[in-house]
Chain A
Amino acid sequence: MAEITSLLHGFGVALSPFNVMLMFVGVVLGVIIGVLPGLGGANGVAILLPLTFTMPPTSAIIMLSCIYWGALFGGAITSILFNIPGEPWSVATTFDGYPLAQKGRAGNALAAAFTSSFVGALVAVILITFLSPVVAGFALRFGPPEFFSVYLLTFCAFVGMSKGQALKTITSMMIGFALAAVGLDTVTGQLRLTFGFTELLKGFDFLIAVIGLFGIGEILLTLEEGLAFKGARAKINVKVVLETWRELPRYWMTSLRSSAVGCFMGIVPGGATPASFMSYGVAKRFSREGEKFGTGQVEGVVAPETAAHAAGTSALLPMLTLGVPGSPTAAVLLGGLLIWGLQPGPLLFQEQTEFVWGLIASMYLGNIAGLIVVLTCVPLFAAILRIPFAIIAPVIIVICAIGAYTVHTSMFDVYLMLVFGVAGYVMRKLDYPLAPLVLALVLGDRAEDSFRQSMLLSQGDLSVFFSNALVGGLTGFALVLLFWPVLAAGLRKIRGG
């Protein structure tokens, strides 16, 4: 068990008082970055990268990765309290987290989100510790057709779970795809749907749409019913954490499944955001209480949060073993390695043992530090809901505006956010579901790119999506999920008849 020895050595490196202090500083900064929409994990780490230039590399990466853990934790807070996802991967957390908060169970939702994040991260770190070399090769098997099948799987896992009218669900999803297509087309380098407006060159950012549709739209809806947030009755003491912990073991199966989905999506690398959507969709389909998802189920918070954190953490595995960024944040960290004078890539494990194991040890410790920080703050966060509406509402709008602006440092995005806000309000009232729109917006261009790259590779032959066991299995599984309701009905009939 060479890994255990190395890991213990890593703990020795990471546990110096200076590094532990950096861990807590990093986690707190990360939570702040995660709470502010727009200032995402990748941006946050990039912004704070120069701070670490004068530190030893191991300390630097400990601090930066803790910022990342903090951001992963922090994204859930505003999702649950105000329906505003602080990070893309916490969109799925709003589906049940926000209804929970409205029922006065904000504390439970937060505690469940943080704890599941921790569990997801823990599973991913254990995977990194013991299986890195085995798993690393797996990521290399992913070419464009495999990526497309993963995105297809995400869609299929999620589609059909919204309760709205089929026509409106389709409309909503197609609007998402159309918005995702705006801007430069990766494959041909042509500008699409920009109509000569330079503001549209950069396309519609997912975060702007989400801040508007969910955040601003929700505030407008709330206002209709008077100047107050529901859920002000939220319990604000630490007991709520223990209460939630008693409930959580019931969802062990969901945790396990979501961790698996998350680790898979992190290593591939498909990303934390698709992981959270996929995990939510799968949990809804296979949970005994799947019908009740969306009305404020703790299980509906557990699924996306576990997967997002597992994916976010395991995304560092390809970075360490292959020098491949598994996520935008990992890409920035890779850049950091160069600045600190380290060579990222397959040899890192052999050449920089102290650095690598220090980092892995800090994944354990940083997540524990993160959990302690956020759990002790649960009452504090829940208490935010007690602030009078006339104070908190304008502050939220200010935060949203800053968030929208920082995504691209563009004023246009702030106006766009308001437009999306009104659209979100109207669409919600007319029963157009928003989740399919958001999913299509976040995955649309990636799915299209990988589809068309595959077509270039195969020279237009669609059978490429079944050309080997891996891609065929993924595509097949996606199709099974898509037609699951029909299949299930058929199975019942056969059994009955």
Chain B
Amino acid sequence: MKLSSAVRLAAVAAACAISPVHAQSGGWEPTKSVEFIVPAGTGGGADQMARLSQAIIQKHNLMKQPLVVVNKPGGAGAEGFLYVKDAKGDPHKIIITLSNLFTTPLATGVPFNWRDLTPVAMLALDQFVLWVNAESPYKNAKEYVAAAKSAGAGKFKMGGTGSKQEDQIITVALERQSGAKFTYIPFKGGGDVAVQLVGKHVDSSVNNPIEAVAQWRAGKLRPLCVFDEKRLIYKEKVTDKMAWSDIPTCKEAGVDMDYLMLRGIFMPGGVTDAQRDYYVELFKKVRATPEWKEFMARGAFNQTTMTGNEYRDWVAKTEQRHRELMKEAGFLAK
């Protein structure tokens, strides 16, 4: 998109004046309100990101037509994905995904694959951190895993969101790496998990930063390691002593495991390139706003972004990785 926005607007206006059908040859623009599907419940991480985007788009007037957030959380997100899959060729629907883009079809056998959709852009990657209660004696991941191992199989309890989804996949991978054996307790949402950990009903969790940061700041939880290859980049102090960047990677701590969760945008299959490019540009503008940057810092997101073929390849590779991880864990649908 080399055209300046003024020229593009003029082009669109001209195209509209002649015939609206030709609009796609210039820059395409939504002609009615756009549905922004969230394949998860209200109040969760994906929902927050979608509603923040909606608010930013509205505040900065980034889109002429309204953007409407619609939650479709049924069947671990399958409801939302099938809805978008069925809307083939409809450029007025976009969906924000999390790891359930891969895990749900693999674990439940619901007839759906990301190839049914058009990848638009990766907005960010969400981190996972190993948390324990601040009153527990474990100061680092190595100690904790060793304690879990010596306590015996199933004595340590790992709380997580959902079953056969990212939290449990990480738990299983952690077990394979370390030889410890946890009892995994599935809860409905990340917020629940953090509270259960504060209340000492479970021993650890792999909450996303944003789900647990409030409890960390209040001195209730302690981060042990982050499941990424590199440390987090945010150096501003979160508690009196620590910043996000002070949390060691799990590899440093002796558990060689990394896992990041996709926060990306997809469209239904069968849309034109111009239609896809419109949303690529839109979210580029969203990411440039100060509100977005503040949100990224608060949730300690990995700010990798991708579009086009690079994004498509990344998704394909990540799907394959999930298939392997889930096969090892015995989570694939029969």
Contact = CB atoms under 8 A, between A and B. Distances in A.
Residue among B43, B107, B185 with the highest chain A CB neighbour number at 10 A: B43
Contacts of B183: 456-457, 459
A304 interface: no
Contacts of B164: 188-189
B211 to A, nearest CB: 10
Interface stretch (B114-122, B188-196, B252-260): B188-196
Contacts, number: 159
Interface string B289-307: 0010011001000000000
Interface residues on B, range: 35 or more
Contact of A42 (B42, B154, B199): B42
B42 A46 contact: yes
A184 interface: yes
Nearest to B86: A198
B162 A186 contact: yes
Contacts of A53: 55, 58-59
A282 B154 CA distance: 40
A190 B164 CA distance: 9
Interface in B4-57: 41-44, 47-48, 51-52, 54-55
A384 interface: no
B215 interface: yes
Nearest to A54: B59
Contacts of B71: 46
A43 B51 CA distance: 12
A198 B78 contact: yes
B162 to A, nearest CB: 7
Contacts of B70: 409
Contacts of B107: 189
Given A185-B163, A344-B214, A456-B183, A322 B74 contact: no
Contact of B74 (A50, A144, A183): A183
Given A332-B42, A341-B294, 19 more contacts: A46-B51, A50-B55, A53-B59, A54-B59, A139-B195, A183-B74, A185-B163, A191-B75, A201-B79, A201-B110, A202-B72, A202-B79, A323-B218, A328-B41, A334-B191, A338-B210, A346-B217, A456-B183, A457-B183
Interface of B: 41-44, 47-48, 51-52, 54-55, 58-59, 69-76, 78-79, 82, 107-111, 154, 157, 162-165, 183-189, 191, 194-196, 198-199, 201-202, 210, 213-215, 217-218, 220, 291, 294-295, 298, 331
9 contacts: A43-B42, A46-B71, A191-B108, A324-B191, A325-B43, A331-B189, A338-B52, A408-B79, A457-B185
